[in-house]
Structure 1
Amino acid sequence: MVVEMHAKSSVSAVPRNGSLLALAVCCGLGVANVYYLQPSLSQVQAEFGVSASQVGLVPTLTQVGYALGMLLLAPLGDVLERRRLIICKAILMIVALLAASMAPTLGVLAAAGVVIGILGSIGQDFIPLAAHFSSDAQRGKAVGTVTTGLLTGILLSRALGGWVSECLSWRAMQEIAAAMMVLVTLVTWTLPPIPPTTKVRYSALLGSLLTLWKAHRPLRLAIITQSVLAATLGAFWSSLSVVLAAAPFHQGSAVAGAFGFVGAAGALAAPLFGGLADKSGPLHAVRVGCCLVVVAFGALLLFPPSLWSLGVSALIFDLGVMAALVSHQHLINGLDPSARSRLNGMLMTGAMCGMAIGAAIGSFALQSHGRDGLWAVGVIAGAVALITSFFHTFKGQRNV
């Protein structure tokens, strides 16, 4: 009875637009820490005197950490008091960001990046909060609002990181990020306590992920296809600042960060593919997304290098990757309604692993074969994802 009364009071406590906006901002600030450094990697490379492939290890390891955080820390929100969990993560994130800002070597920076990536799962913790604090009639809108904060944080973090790094330094960006996480901590502190939603052991929650993987072939194929597509994001964005710093562009971190706005424009248009998924089945939209990726990177191979071609291609391939993600979410959410959070978590973990692998491959390709090698990675990844999508059907059904 006490829990029921608490739940009712919680619903009336937070669902107002201002409170939802605060949750959305905290969500975006939490995940943005994973991406602030990417547009200023050329500064890091110059300061430590390392190669492109060596500096590429920083975003690679950060993405690996993010994937681990999604897989291992996100389920804790179901078995621990969520407000306390978020505050602990935020405090640890502040420490990790300050450590990154003072890193004396690339190795220390990479180690701090792993911790930042793991704790970056804090952004995902605010989405269930929106559902918890909202009535049934407002839950969809509330979750959508906070999810938009997550997406905006990912997309605009590169622009902010590039601009601050250009005006101040990449170290200053990490310090500013730590200050913003203090704000996240204070906002979370004002929320009412949130009791755990299940008494299931943490080990059992993790074990159920393997059960879901084995039970649903479409889930396995969706994760594989999306991870291959996400590799193009890792390859492009983790190497962009190095590409722009070299001939014929000779541009700094601010320009690299500004490309985040271009990527945002493409990614935010991706939900339009939901209509195509409703009408023709999600796989049609997935395949269109794969084709957009191939076309975007193919154009970079064929046309002379310019900021315009880079910008247009970034818009097109970001649109393709995010359109496929929206369609894959549409697909897997119909597999097991009782496990939607875990299914989405598994899909996003696969995507983060793909981004990490793509960042490593992209750095190696750029170091070994220049820009064309990097663009070729994008073409190959898009083609592999497209081929994989044709194995992606339910028994006895078409266009699912």
Structure 2
Amino acid sequence: MNRTAMLAAVCAVAVAGIYAAQPVLAEIGAELGVPEAQLGWIVAAGQLGYLAGLALLVPWGDLVDRRRLIAGHLLLTAAGAVLAAAASRTWMLLAGVAVAGLFAVVVQTTVAYAAALAAPGDRGRTLGVVTSGVVAGILGARVAAGALATVWGWRSVYVVLAGLLVTLAALVLRTLPPDPRPGGSSYRDVLTSLGGLFRERLFVSRGVIAFFLFASFGTLWSGLALPLSAAPWRLSPAQTGLFGLAGLVGALGATRAGRWADAGFARAVTGGGLALLTVSWLATAQAPWSLWLAAAGVVVLDFAVQAVHVSNQHLLATAYPDRTSSAIGGYMIFYALGSAFGATTTTAVFAVAGWAGSSVLGAAFAVVAFAVWAAGFRGRGRPAGRCRCAPGRPGRSPRSARRTTGGTGGSG
């Protein structure tokens, strides 16, 4: 296994720990006596742990050897999976899933490490391959967990996951090069730097795009099972899970977006991807009448989301080479919040307006993201180092302008 493929595998297996419970919630609830109305907390525990890890753990990647950090976080994620597999009480399961989610932020450290290892002209392609592992983990976890639970029960999902995590930790230590970090900074300095990113135009614009991008993504994947399980289709959970394979095809197809970003088209990829995302909802909206159109829409939507996601991270890794872990970790906070927002709103809208309403919601999220991109793209036309000021009044220095835009000449 080459280095890039192994880093993609790390991302896939680590993120699977957050989503592995989704297809087996009913089985977990039946065995542990969890009321149906409270099953959502099992998934929420992993998401909350992940959100905490983005803010508190990912910045360590700018301070310590990322190879050792990745291996350590994989082992701690495995410990959470073992606790979940052995749970005899609901609180033990929640604790295990939360720990697995907390240390699953190894994904962001891995992405930052991959960007640092790649040559500048090859960074986009590398990010495209590695982040495809994230999508493979999110979508593949649903399919694999359902299959394992059918044969050996839901606990086997976490047992297999723990075994894979331990194996990957050993491979990381054996095959990846050391990653010494520059000294002179403290954890407090890095956290302060992370907070400072939220005042950077480039970072905030890409974060807002990510929020609405993944709100649209969450609208689809948290709501699609509702029309598919209803008349006239009445698909089983296993059959519904096969739509994850369609999404995987689309996401893997978007690895080419990394090469386009390397060629200098990252901003154009963002705009094109968001336009494609909006259009994809015309097909996915047909789920109550056509499975083929729904599947086609899923392929296009996941292609668009992955293309935009890769271009976002490419721009951030290029703009902040000395604090890539913090930049990507902070960016993923927007991702996590957007995914959660989409997931919670789509079910509420579906209850009132059906899948047509959910589709309008998903498309609206995409349109807002496109508007943010378009506003930033227009802003790039203003020359660096100048501002709108009265005649005779000196403008900002070029250095000051670069600070405002994150050193890239614009936010789009």
TM-score, scaled to structure 2? 0.76
Q: Measured at CA, do residues 332 and 227 of structure 1 come closer, stay the same or move farther in structure 2, by a change above 3 Å? A: same
**1:231 maps to which residue?**
215
In 2 relative to 1, CA 98–251 (structure 1 residues): closer, same or farther, beyond 3 Å?
farther
Structure showing greater relative contact order (alpha-carbon pairs closer than 8 Å, 6 or more residues apart): 1
8 Å CA contact 1:35–1:154 kept in 2: the answer is: yes
Aligned to 1:173: 157
Q: Is the 8 A contact 2:128 2:310 kept in 1?
A: no
State the partner residue of 2:374.
390
Equivalent of 2:194, from 187, 209, 212?
Answer: 209
Q: Does 1:297 align with 2:268?
A: no
Asked whether 1:320 is paired with 2:301, we answer no
Q: 1:275 to 1:99 in 2, by over 3 A?
A: closer
Letter in 2 for 1:360: T
Residues 215-234 of structure 1 deviation map (CA, whole Å, 9 limit, x = unaligned): x2132111101111101222
Q: How does 1:368-379 map onto structure 2 within 5 Å? A: 369-379=353-363
| Structure 2 counterpart of 1:13 | none
**Structure 2 matches for 1:252-271, cutoff 5 A?**
252-271=236-255
Partner of 2:14: 30
- Tell me, in whole angstroms, the C-alpha distance in 2 between the residues paired with 1:335 and 1:81: 21
**Which residue of 1 is the match for residue 345 of structure 2?**
361
1:136, 1:231 → 2: CA distance? 31
Tell me how far 1:200 sits from its aligned partner.
1.0
CA distance in 2, matches of 1:303, 1:143: 32
Q: Deviations over 1:142-189 (max 9, x none)?
A: 777655544543443332223223444333212221222232343345
Q: Percent identity among equivalent residues?
A: 29
Structure 1: distance between partners of 2:262 and 2:114: 26
Q: What residue is the counterpart of 1:14 in the other structure? A: none
Residue 39 of structure 1: how far off its partner (Å):
3.5
Q: Deviations over 1:308-362 (max 9, x none)?
A: 2332221121122222223323444454444444333322232122112222223
Q: Which amino acid aligns with 1:70?
A: L
Deviations 1:83-125 (A, max 9, x none): 5544443333223223333556666644543322211112344
Gap runs ≥5 in structure 1: 1-16
Aligned counterparts of 1:220 and 1:139: Cα–Cα separation in 2: 22
Any conservation in 1 of the 2:284–2:298 contact (CA below 8 Å)? Answer: no
- Residue 293 of structure 1 aligns to which amino acid in structure 2? L
Structure 2 segments unaligned to the other structure (5+ residues): 384-409
Q: CA deviation at 1:280?
A: 8.8
In the superposition, relative to structure 1, how do residues 364 and 97 fare at CA in structure 2: closer, same or farther (>3 Å)?
farther
Provide the rounded CA distance (Å) in 2 between the counterparts of 1:399 and 1:139.
20
State the 1:396 CA deviation: 0.7
TM-score w.r.t. the length of structure 1 is: 0.78
Aligned length: 381
* Aligned equivalent of 1:50, options 36, 53, 62: 36
Amino acid at match of 1:394: R
Q: Which residue of 2 aligns with 1:4?
A: none
> What is the CA–CA distance in structure 1 between the aligned matches of 2:318 and 2:233, rounded to whole Å?
46
Q: RMSD across aligned C-alpha pairs, in angstroms?
A: 3.7
**Match for residue 104 of structure 2 among 86, 105, 120:** 120
Cα gap change, 1:239/1:103 in structure 2, threshold over 3 Å: closer, same or farther?
farther
Q: What secondary structure, in the 3-state scheme, does the structure 1 residue paired with 2:298 have?
A: helix
Contact residue 129 and residue 255 of structure 2 kept, 8 A = no
